[in-house]
Amino acid sequence: MRSFLLNRFAQSLVLLLIVSVIGFVVLNLIPGGPLAQFGLDASMTQDDLNRLTEQLGLNRPLWIQYMDWAWRLLKGDWGHSFRDGAPVLDVIGRHLMATLLLMGSSTVIAIAIGTWIGVRGAVKRYSIFDYMATVGAMVALSIPTFWFGLIGIYVFSLRLGWLPAGNMYTIGDESVLNYLHHLILPSVVLALVHVAIWSRYMRSATLDVINQEFIKTARAKGLSERRILMKHVIGNALLPMITLAGMQLPSVLTGALVTETVFTWPGMGRLFLDSLGYSDYPVVMGLLMFSAILVVVSNLAADIVVAIIDPRIRLS
């Protein structure tokens, strides 16, 4: 098991290195470069731009710029925002909790509903419920997240007036209930696509377990179907789902970016788009690396949990 974990950790480090190199090169090759926003200032002369280029070290070869940036990153210096001069980590920290709240609530909704739909669809295979769940999953996977968001705003905010159309809370009312009231619609919209994905995988995993020999043995011993389902089927079917949960984090982050934009949610996704529009490259690179680290750590944690639970991996 130790070699398995060391191997996965080494792969994670290589992946982060590849992401950092690609992200850094692509951002610096964008027309205008890191100083594109400064060039839009009418009072900025060419001499000013040249002076900024030299101060920021942008006149050096790209590989030297990357090595300098990577070294400072390892030391905890992620740079400073072009917009307000604040440290990049502080800028990300101000938006982190909003994104984690949205992602966490949507993930819990997706896992709870998706698991129930998947297990019920597998147990009642080829029933009306199973067919409806399949059609619903295909529809959810085919329609963009922003469309669900706009429809949700139109129906539940504009027409019915049940839920807020955006923002994280009402100004002047920062109670927990107010936060939850604003959280309902964006978290449900973000969870819809992942409910479809989770339910399909859970259905397949449950069917695989149901057809195993130890389930037939449990039935031969006279155990009830409910006890077999709760004690033997669901637990074993959830093992591959732990890995899936880690693999789904990138799509959750991508969906959060769209959802935060539609609902004006002050998270990292909205910060990423705003920073791109302002050409705030230090913040963009910081968000890219922070998201990559979050994805890698979640996948590594999922692998560790599976390795601890599954004796086959421990013994190998």
Q: With bands split at pLDDT 50, 70 and 90, how would you rate the model's confidence at 128?
A: very high
Q: Which of 120, 145, 154, 155 is nearest to 134 (CA)?
A: 120
Whether pTM > 0.85 for this model: the answer is: no
Checking if the pLDDT of 52 tops 70, the result is yes
Residues 46, 13: Cα–Cα separation, whole Å: 40
pLDDT tens profile 232-253? 788 778 777 777 776 677 767 7
What integer best gives the mean pLDDT of the chain?
Answer: 82
Residue 41: pLDDT above 70?
no
- Orientation of helix 249-262 relative to helix 268-278, angle to 10°: 70
pLDDT in tens, 222-231: 877 788 887 7
Q: For helices 176-210 and 88-123, what crossing angle results, to 10°? A: 50
